[in-house]
Structure 1
Amino acid sequence: MAMALKAGARFKSAVCDTQVMVVKAPAGEHVLSCGGAEMIAPTATGAGTLDPAQAGETLIGKRYVNADESVELLCTKGGKGSLSLNGTALEIKQAKQLPSSD
């Protein structure tokens, strides 16, 4: 089920311990998944099993982005599932290189 994502919104995985907070989100309706299952509200009860093909592990404190960085999620609790938006896997955001101060 597609939903509108907005900054500050929190979601948890239905199939593992992963929890995320939306830092930046594109306009429109999107499907946010973790471990092969759609993510749910933090207060909802999850059910189902982790898809082994989607078991990439999320790391607490890391930011996850899509290719054009139109979406950014902060992992607030790590888990065994990997994150995806509209079926496309999200990657850990790489730190920007600072210019040398020589």
Structure 2
Amino acid sequence: MSTPLRAGEQLASADCTVRVVVVRAPADGEAVLACGGSPMVPATGGRPSTAGITGLVTLIGKRYVNESDTLEVLCTSPGVGELSYDGVPLTVKAAKALPASD
């Protein structure tokens, strides 16, 4: 059984260099946040080196959300693994359009 996600929690991939910070967590929070198919674990230690890695899938500085927009994570270290929540891939959060100033 997984532990509920909490806003501010830092997680790392068990398989690659991806690290994220949970920005918004769902109220139920019982589904698993995974990267590359493996559940993410609490981040410990220093930041992994991404030098020489090509074909990045998860990009630094991007926010990723689930379909229902109840989970939002911020990528703090890029990598080749794809983020998913409850087996469904997360998507990059679209930027909000600014209001027109006429």
Shift of 1:65: 0.2
Q: TM-score, normalised by structure 1?
A: 0.83
The 1-side partners of 2:72 and 2:56 are apart by: 17
- State which drifts further: 71-80 or 27-36: 27-36
2:4 partner amino acid: A
CA RMSD of aligned residues (A): 1.7
Say whether residues 1:13 and 2:30 are aligned partners: no
In structure 2, how many angstroms separate the alpha carbons of the residues matched to 1:93 and 1:26?
Answer: 16
TM-score by length of 2: 0.83
Give unpaired runs (5+ residues) of structure 1: 45-54
Measure, in 1, the Cα distance between the counterparts of 2:98 and 2:11. 32
Percent of counterpart pairs with the same letter? 51
**In 2, Cα distance between the equivalents of 1:31 and 1:67?**
15
Using the TM superposition, give the Cα deviation of residue 56 of structure 1 relative to its aligned residue in structure 2, in angstroms.
Answer: 7.0
Report the counterpart of residue 37 of structure 2 in structure 1. 36
- Tell whether 2:90 aligns with 1:82: no
Q: Is the 8 A contact 1:18 1:81 kept in 2?
A: yes
Q: Distance in 1 between matches of 2:90 and 2:38?
A: 14
Q: Secondary structure at the match of 2:42?
A: coil
Partner of 2:49: none
State whether residues 13 and 40 of structure 2, in contact with CA within 8 Å, keep that contact through their aligned partners in structure 1. yes
